[in-house]
Copies of this chain bind each other. A is one copy, B any other.
Amino acid sequence: MTARGPLGAIDELIAALGVLPGIGAKSAERLAHHIVRCPADQALRLVEAIQKVRDRVRRCQACFHLTEASNPLCSICRDPERDQGLICVVEQSQDLMALERAGSYQGVYHVLLGPLAPLKGIGPDQLTVDALEERVKAGGIREIILATNPTLEGDGAALLVHRRLAGAGIPITRLARGLASGSSLEFANKEMVADALEGRRTFS
């Protein structure tokens, strides 16, 4: 493949793109070629956006949702209109954002930071359950809503949280199974999310 030999820079870009989720070998090649020939300002904007997101975005010290580096607490935790006595536990910030888009939830959140995936090295210790326990111990919480994904990993995470908080004497509910098993909360539409919230039941 004489054509590729000296094009190390392209190959490196294809490799760097290929590790992104959902980007296969063909997509990575197509994207790399686009980045080579697109207008300079488009490439610059992408580079700066990546750098900015890495520089400025941090995790909220209370709920682990995303927040700007200048704010230790995210906009939801800082919002006086949100019910701080209601904690909705999600796996990822994307899940939180899907719930926010639906617009029917007025409490706060707790982001576990990842599905429980022992085979990928994400065990109970990698999740933010300790911090959640601290929040509950600090008092003022009336209900914990488990909103992990309706998957094996999500159910595992829900079970883990339930075990850890069962002794606290606070009602623990979970989202109704209006969500299709095996699907992802990230892609749920408004109605599905609203139904799931409305039909939540006591976790047992």
**Contact A52 to B12, CB < 8 A, known contacts A3-B100, A33-B93:** yes
Which residues on B sit within 8 Å (CB–CB) of A23?
31
Number of interface residues of A (CB under 8 A): 67
| A contact patch SS | helix
Segment touching B, from A53-61, A135-143, A173-181: A53-61
Which residues on B sit within 8 Å (CB–CB) of A19?
42
Q: Which residues of A contact B (CB under 8 A)?
A: 1-10, 12-13, 15-17, 19-23, 26-27, 29-37, 40, 42-43, 45-57, 65-68, 71, 74-76, 79, 82, 92-94, 96-97, 100-101, 113, 186-187
Q: What are 22 A-to-B residue pairs whose CB atoms are below 8 Å?
A: A2-B79, A4-B100, A6-B67, A6-B74, A7-B75, A8-B68, A9-B56, A10-B57, A10-B66, A12-B53, A19-B42, A21-B30, A22-B27, A22-B30, A22-B31, A23-B31, A26-B187, A29-B97, A30-B186, A33-B93, A35-B54, A37-B113
